[in-house]
Amino acid sequence: MPRPQKKRSVCHPPLFDRFKPTGVRGNVLTEIALTLDEFEAIRLADYQGLDHNESAAEMGISRSTFSRLVEKSRRKVSQFLIEGKHLRIDGGEVHFERNLIRCEDCDHLVNIALDADTKQCPGCGSSKLINLAGGFGHGRCCAKHHRTRKG
Protein backbone atom coordinates (compact mmCIF):
# COMPACT_ATOMS: atom_id res chain seq x y z
CA MET A 1 0.00 0.00 0.00
CA PRO A 2 1.55 3.35 -1.01
CA ARG A 3 2.34 5.97 1.55
CA PRO A 4 -0.22 8.82 1.70
CA GLN A 5 0.91 11.88 -0.26
CA LYS A 6 1.82 14.83 1.93
CA LYS A 7 0.53 18.26 0.96
CA ARG A 8 2.95 20.23 -1.16
CA SER A 9 3.68 23.89 -0.68
CA VAL A 10 2.62 26.21 -3.53
CA CYS A 11 3.62 29.88 -3.42
CA HIS A 12 0.26 31.31 -4.56
CA PRO A 13 -2.66 30.37 -6.79
CA PRO A 14 -2.26 30.74 -10.56
CA LEU A 15 -3.64 33.90 -12.17
CA PHE A 16 -5.49 31.83 -14.78
CA ASP A 17 -6.75 28.27 -14.53
CA ARG A 18 -7.83 27.44 -18.10
CA PHE A 19 -6.07 27.66 -21.45
CA LYS A 20 -7.15 26.61 -24.93
CA PRO A 21 -6.26 27.28 -28.55
CA THR A 22 -8.02 30.33 -30.00
CA GLY A 23 -10.73 29.80 -32.56
CA VAL A 24 -11.75 26.38 -31.22
CA ARG A 25 -14.73 25.83 -28.93
CA GLY A 26 -13.65 24.38 -25.60
CA ASN A 27 -16.35 21.72 -25.62
CA VAL A 28 -14.79 20.00 -28.66
CA LEU A 29 -11.29 19.81 -27.15
CA THR A 30 -9.84 17.03 -25.04
CA GLU A 31 -9.01 18.36 -21.60
CA ILE A 32 -5.70 17.91 -19.78
CA ALA A 33 -5.68 18.50 -16.03
CA LEU A 34 -2.52 20.06 -14.61
CA THR A 35 -2.57 19.85 -10.81
CA LEU A 36 -1.60 22.84 -8.69
CA ASP A 37 1.63 21.13 -7.58
CA GLU A 38 2.50 20.37 -11.22
CA PHE A 39 1.86 24.04 -12.04
CA GLU A 40 4.18 25.04 -9.19
CA ALA A 41 6.90 22.67 -10.46
CA ILE A 42 6.79 24.35 -13.89
CA ARG A 43 6.80 27.80 -12.26
CA LEU A 44 9.84 27.05 -10.10
CA ALA A 45 11.97 25.12 -12.61
CA ASP A 46 11.12 26.75 -15.92
CA TYR A 47 9.80 30.23 -15.10
CA GLN A 48 11.98 31.03 -12.08
CA GLY A 49 14.93 28.93 -13.30
CA LEU A 50 15.61 27.22 -9.96
CA ASP A 51 17.45 23.90 -9.93
CA HIS A 52 15.68 20.76 -8.71
CA ASN A 53 17.18 20.92 -5.20
CA GLU A 54 16.06 24.52 -4.65
CA SER A 55 12.63 23.83 -6.16
CA ALA A 56 12.10 20.72 -4.02
CA ALA A 57 12.98 22.69 -0.88
CA GLU A 58 10.49 25.42 -1.85
CA MET A 59 7.73 22.83 -2.19
CA GLY A 60 8.70 20.80 0.88
CA ILE A 61 9.33 17.58 -1.06
CA SER A 62 12.35 15.47 -1.97
CA ARG A 63 14.47 16.24 -5.03
CA SER A 64 13.55 12.93 -6.66
CA THR A 65 9.83 13.60 -6.12
CA PHE A 66 10.26 17.07 -7.61
CA SER A 67 12.07 15.64 -10.66
CA ARG A 68 9.21 13.21 -11.32
CA LEU A 69 6.66 15.98 -10.81
CA VAL A 70 8.32 18.45 -13.21
CA GLU A 71 8.72 15.78 -15.91
CA LYS A 72 5.03 14.89 -15.64
CA SER A 73 4.14 18.61 -15.81
CA ARG A 74 6.29 19.23 -18.87
CA ARG A 75 4.69 16.28 -20.65
CA LYS A 76 1.21 17.73 -20.05
CA VAL A 77 2.19 21.26 -21.11
CA SER A 78 3.82 19.92 -24.29
CA GLN A 79 0.64 17.94 -25.10
CA PHE A 80 -1.37 21.14 -24.68
CA LEU A 81 0.96 23.08 -27.01
CA ILE A 82 1.49 20.42 -29.68
CA GLU A 83 -1.89 18.67 -29.75
CA GLY A 84 -4.01 21.77 -29.05
CA LYS A 85 -5.81 20.45 -26.00
CA HIS A 86 -7.72 22.34 -23.31
CA LEU A 87 -5.48 22.80 -20.25
CA ARG A 88 -7.16 23.13 -16.86
CA ILE A 89 -5.21 23.82 -13.65
CA ASP A 90 -6.88 22.37 -10.57
CA GLY A 91 -6.53 19.80 -7.83
CA GLY A 92 -3.57 18.22 -6.13
CA GLU A 93 -2.64 17.92 -2.48
CA VAL A 94 -1.36 21.44 -1.79
CA HIS A 95 -1.29 24.32 0.64
CA PHE A 96 -0.79 27.86 -0.64
CA GLU A 97 1.76 30.05 1.15
CA ARG A 98 0.16 33.34 0.04
CA ASN A 99 -2.96 34.49 -1.74
CA LEU A 100 -3.73 36.69 -4.72
CA ILE A 101 -6.74 38.99 -4.84
CA ARG A 102 -7.84 40.40 -8.21
CA CYS A 103 -10.05 43.48 -8.60
CA GLU A 104 -12.88 42.93 -11.09
CA ASP A 105 -13.05 46.65 -11.89
CA CYS A 106 -9.41 47.59 -12.56
CA ASP A 107 -7.65 44.14 -12.72
CA HIS A 108 -5.26 45.22 -9.94
CA LEU A 109 -3.56 42.21 -8.28
CA VAL A 110 -2.77 42.16 -4.58
CA ASN A 111 -0.40 39.55 -3.12
CA ILE A 112 -1.50 39.06 0.50
CA ALA A 113 -1.12 36.74 3.45
CA LEU A 114 -3.67 33.93 3.53
CA ASP A 115 -5.34 35.20 6.68
CA ALA A 116 -5.46 38.85 5.55
CA ASP A 117 -8.93 40.31 5.20
CA THR A 118 -8.87 42.71 2.25
CA LYS A 119 -12.19 44.45 1.60
CA GLN A 120 -11.17 47.11 -0.94
CA CYS A 121 -8.87 47.32 -3.94
CA PRO A 122 -5.83 49.51 -3.15
CA GLY A 123 -5.83 50.62 -6.81
CA CYS A 124 -9.39 51.88 -7.27
CA GLY A 125 -11.20 51.32 -3.94
CA SER A 126 -13.65 48.81 -5.44
CA SER A 127 -15.09 46.07 -3.26
CA LYS A 128 -15.47 43.68 -6.25
CA LEU A 129 -12.56 41.41 -5.35
CA ILE A 130 -11.86 37.85 -6.47
CA ASN A 131 -10.09 35.61 -3.95
CA LEU A 132 -7.96 33.34 -6.15
CA ALA A 133 -7.03 30.84 -3.40
CA GLY A 134 -10.70 30.66 -2.43
CA GLY A 135 -11.54 29.77 -6.03
CA PHE A 136 -9.51 26.59 -5.56
CA GLY A 137 -11.19 25.85 -2.21
CA HIS A 138 -8.19 27.03 -0.20
CA GLY A 139 -7.42 29.77 2.26
CA ARG A 140 -8.16 29.00 5.88
CA CYS A 141 -6.73 25.46 5.69
CA CYS A 142 -3.50 26.82 4.20
CA ALA A 143 -3.13 29.59 6.79
CA LYS A 144 -3.66 27.07 9.59
CA HIS A 145 -1.14 24.65 8.02
CA HIS A 146 1.57 27.32 7.77
CA ARG A 147 0.96 28.58 11.33
CA THR A 148 1.39 25.07 12.76
CA ARG A 149 4.49 24.42 10.60
CA LYS A 150 6.20 27.60 11.83
CA GLY A 151 5.14 27.51 15.44
Residues 71-87: what's their mean pLDDT?
96
**CA distances (Å), origin 127, targets 9, 16, 67, 100:** 29, 21, 41, 15
**Domain-wise residue ranges, the chain:** 8-94, 98-150
> What secondary structure does DSSP assign to 29-70, as a single string?
SPEEEEPHHHHHHHIIIIIS---HHHHHHHHTS-HHHHHHHH
For the domain 98-150, what is the CATH code? 2.20.28
Is a pLDDT exceeding 90 seen at residue 148?
no
Judged against a pLDDT cut of 60, whether residue 26 lies above it is answered with yes
Q: What is the pTM of this model?
A: 0.83
Question: Does CATH number 3.40.1350 belong to domain 8-94?
Answer: no
The 10s digit of each residue's pLDDT in 84-100 is: 999 999 988 888 888 88
The answer to whether the beta carbons of residues 68 and 75 sit under 8 Å apart is: no
